[in-house]
């Protein structure tokens, strides 16, 4: 299990470093079909603000509670009021959640957008409580990426000694491979940064500005 976890962390770290489609992982929470908005919908339907407080830092609870109370107060007037009030709460919650991660809020994204294979596979794995499909996806992607960079170095290794440009291409490919391998190795020994750590950093940054 420890080996599998290390492989997972390593592969995930490479993805976060930009070896796969960028801006998908952190963008998951700002979708209308993402977990934050789903929690908001459930909170509003059950009139229980605690269901969304897990998505924000403790210091942001008053702002979320106030937005929740405002939404609840007017969403039952009519259908249009409900739609407007709910969207106001969704945007407020997601904006504050993103700020807690230290990420910018760029608006709510439409449901059903392309997120790549990693996030949907991770969600399915959690839902089914089966890790193997996720590990298989990540390790295959990791191996393919390393293999591609390795072959890229080999293809440039036997350059003519006086061909400076060809030599530079080899060096660039070589450095890229070594950086990747080192990053993967370090990732197996270091825990991934969680939401709470980002929230604490964001709060510290706010305090320094005041």
pLDDT tens readout for residues 44-63: 999 999 999 999 999 999 99
Average pLDDT, the chain: 81
Reported as a pLDDT band with limits 50, 70 and 90, residue 119 is: confident
Q: Is residue 112 part of a domain?
A: no
Indicate the number of domains in the chain: 2
Segment 88-101 mean pLDDT: 94
If asked whether residues 70 and 139 sit together in one domain, one would say no
Virtual CA dihedral for 96, 97, 98, 101, nearest 10 degrees? 120
Q: What is the pLDDT of residue 198?
A: 56
If asked whether residues 127 and 95 sit together in one domain, one would say no
pLDDT in tens, 173-185: 989 999 999 988 8
Q: Is residue 107 part of a domain?
A: no
Per the structure block, which two tokens stand in for 35? Answer: 């977990």
- CB of 51 within 8 A of CB of 35? no
> E-strand spans in the chain?
none
Q: What's the domain range around 10?
A: 4-21+117-209
Looking at the DSSP bridge assignments, the partners of residue 109 are 31
């Amino acid at each position: 299990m420890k080996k599998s976890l290390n492989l997972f962390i390593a592969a995930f770290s490479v993805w976060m470093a930009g070896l796969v489609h960028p801006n998908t992982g952190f963008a998951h929470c700002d979708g209308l079909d993402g977990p934050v908005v789903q929690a908001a919908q459930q909170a509003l339907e059950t009139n229980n603000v605690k269901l969304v407080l897990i998505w924000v830092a403790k210091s942001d609870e008053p702002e979320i509670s106030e937005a929740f109370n405002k939404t609840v107060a007017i969403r039952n007037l009519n259908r249009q009021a409900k739609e407007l009030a709910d969207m106001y709460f969704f945007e407020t919650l997601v904006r504050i959640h993103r700020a807690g991660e230290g990420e910018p809020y760029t608006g709510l994204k439409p449901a059903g957008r392309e997120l790549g294979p990693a996030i949907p596979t991770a969600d399915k794995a959690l839902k089914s409580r089966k890790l193997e499909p996720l590990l298989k996806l990540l390790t295959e992607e990791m191996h393919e990426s390393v293999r591609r960079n390795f072959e890229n170095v080999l293809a440039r290794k036997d350059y003519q000694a006086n061909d400076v440009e060809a030599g530079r291409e080899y060096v660039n490919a070589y450095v890229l491979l070594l950086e990747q391998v080192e990053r993967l190795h370090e990732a197996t020994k270091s825990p991934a940064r969680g939401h709470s750590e980002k929230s604490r950093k964001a709060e510290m940054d706010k305090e320094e500005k005041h």
